[in-house]
């Protein structure tokens, strides 16, 4: 170390969490943030900021998603309009056709939509369609996603036996019969033209070929996000922070009171609860405690009261943090009543 460089020692105040920097002679040294004139973070702001650092936004790459394996039929081909509007009244017609039996199609579609189901179990919401995943949950999430994708790919592989053209040719006669039956049911005479049949078959082939070659689940991307301290009459970070905190608090409480909460997962229920415990929730330390379900229901009801109360979002965040810290329902409820009366 350069002899001219002052030797500094850092001390942490265990009560406040403040870091005090002292020079060798014992004099306190101003931290860089103070030198730059940056305001000191309050405890709640710092807590939220550190929480944001423990995860990332998860986005679905839409261009990698395979389309549904049934194909749309344009109502115009049957002499009908896809949409008719008369002032405030609207009529819409939607038609689809498939060469896969209904049971198998439903099973494949369940796997195709499996990603969205898993996102509800392994992410918390920051806002509408904004999924935030704790780093501690990513490995488990991706393992479950791989399982769902493998199950879907096996269904498709068993169905097509590696030959899309052969599968379509084997189903062509039944497909033409079904389309003509629909044509007749709509009061049309004769049969649909060969061009219509070719168009439908082309669409079905494209869909089946994409499903055969790619993953049934779309690809994902992870993006780091930080808590913004900007707060004025037009912008506030606290609404988003409350949404995240509320979701974090609700997760284990819903999991322990809803027997269908983890439906579709192939892991023990305590594993996702542990992996999603990103805020050191006091509840998760006492899961086996007698009466835990009743406590969960009461705290979920308290979360609803906090959400609907007329107060600032930052105050809501403070109350949710108290739930996570294990403060009593009675004490939090009292504070909530006092805030509402102001």
Give the pLDDT band (50/70/90) at residue 36: low
Mean per-residue pLDDT of the chain = 87
pLDDT digit string, tens, across residues 221-252? 999 999 987 776 777 899 999 999 999 999 99
> Higher confidence at residue 12 or residue 301?
301
pLDDT digit string, tens, across residues 70-94? 988 888 877 777 888 888 888 888 8
Residue 86: predicted pLDDT = 85
Question: How many other CB atoms are there within 10 angstroms of residue 334's CB atom?
Answer: 11
Q: Measured between alpha carbons, how far is 122 from 116 in angstroms, rounded to an integer?
A: 10
> Higher confidence at residue 79 or residue 51?
51
First to last CA, the chain: 57
Q: Residue 250: left (phi > 0), alpha (psi -120 to 50), or beta? A: alpha
pLDDT digit string, tens, across residues 180-217? 998 888 888 888 889 889 999 999 999 999 998 878 89
H/E/C letters for each residue in the chain? CCCCCCCEEEEECCCCCCEEEEECCCCEECCHHHHCCCCCCCHHHHHHHHHHCCEEEEEECHHHCCCCCCEEECHHHHCCCCEEEECCEEEECCEEECCCCHHHHHHHHHHHCHHHHHHHHHCEEEECCEEEEEHHHHHHHHHHHHHHHHHHHHHHHHHHCCCHHHHHHHHHHHHHHHHHHHHHHCCCCCCCCHHHHHHHHHHHHHHHHHHHHCCCCCCEEEECCCCCCCCCCCCCCHHHHHHHHHHHHHHHHHHHHCCCCCCCCCCCCHHHHHHCCCCCCHHHHCCCCCCHHHHHHHHHHHHHHHHHCCCCHHHHHHHHHHHHCCCCHHHHHHHHHHHHHC
In 3D space, the residue among 262, 215, 218, 216 whose CA is nearest the CA of residue 58 turns out to be: 218
Give the pLDDT band (50/70/90) at residue 1: very low
Q: Is it the case that residue 306 has pLDDT exceeding 50?
A: yes
Tokens of 335: 């504070």
For the CA atoms of 280, 286, 291, 292, the dihedral, rounded to the nearest 10 degrees, stands at: 30
Residue 156: predicted pLDDT = 94
Rounded CA Rg of the chain? 29
Q: Which residues pair with 223 in a beta bridge?
A: 57
The structural domains of the chain, with segments of one domain joined by +, span 1-39, 60-221, 228-341
Residue 7: predicted pLDDT = 67
Q: Is it the case that residue 290 has pLDDT exceeding 70?
A: yes
Q: What is the mean pLDDT of residues 140-149?
A: 95
Say which residues have a Cβ less than 8 Å from residue 48's Cβ, sequence separation at least 6. Answer: 227, 241, 245, 317
Q: Is it the case that residue 275 has pLDDT exceeding 80?
A: yes
Share of the chain above pLDDT 90, in %: 61
Give the pLDDT band (50/70/90) at residue 68: very high
Burial 204-224 (b: 16+ CB within 10 A, else e): bbebbeebbeebbbbebeeee
């Amino acid at each position: 170390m350069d002899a001219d460089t002052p030797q500094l020692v850092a001390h942490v105040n265990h009560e406040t969490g403040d870091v005090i920097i002292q020079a060798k002679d014992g004099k306190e040294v101003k931290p860089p943030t103070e030198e730059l004139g940056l305001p000191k973070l309050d405890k709640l702001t710092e807590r939220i900021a550190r929480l944001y650092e423990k995860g990332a936004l998860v986005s679905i790459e839409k261009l990698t998603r395979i389309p549904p394996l049934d194909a749309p039929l344009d109502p115009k081909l049957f002499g009908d309009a896809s949409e008719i509007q008369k002032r405030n009244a609207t009529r819409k017609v939607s038609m689809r056709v498939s060469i896969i039996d209904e049971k198998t199609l439903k099973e494949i579609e369940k796997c195709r939509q499996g990603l969205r189901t898993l996102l509800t179990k392994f992410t918390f919401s920051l806002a509408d369609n904004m999924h935030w995943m704790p780093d501690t949950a990513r490995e488990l999430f991706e393992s479950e996603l791989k399982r769902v994708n493998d199950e879907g790919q096996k269904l498709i592989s068993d169905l097509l036996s590696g030959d899309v053209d052969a599968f379509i040719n084997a189903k062509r006669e039944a497909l033409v019969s079904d389309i003509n039956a629909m044509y007749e049911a709509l009061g049309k005479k004769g049969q649909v033209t060969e061009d219509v049949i070719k168009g439908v078959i082309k669409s079905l082939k494209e869909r089946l070929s994409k499903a055969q070659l790619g993953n049934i689940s779309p690809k994902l991307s992870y993006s780091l996000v930080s808590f913004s301290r900007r707060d004025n009459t037009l912008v506030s970070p606290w609404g988003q922070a409350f949404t995240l905190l509320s979701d974090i608090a609700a997760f284990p409480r819903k999991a322990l009171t809803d027997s269908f909460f983890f439906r579709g997962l192939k892991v023990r229920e305590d594993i996702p609860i542990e992996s999603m415990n990103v805020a050191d929730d006091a509840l998760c330390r006492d899961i086996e405690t007698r009466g835990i379900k009743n406590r969960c229901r009461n705290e979920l009801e308290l979360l609803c009261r906090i959400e609907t109360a007329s107060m600032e979002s930052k105050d809501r965040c403070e109350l949710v943090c108290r739930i996570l810290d294990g403060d009593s329902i009675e004490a939090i409820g009292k504070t909530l009543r006092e805030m509402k009366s102001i």
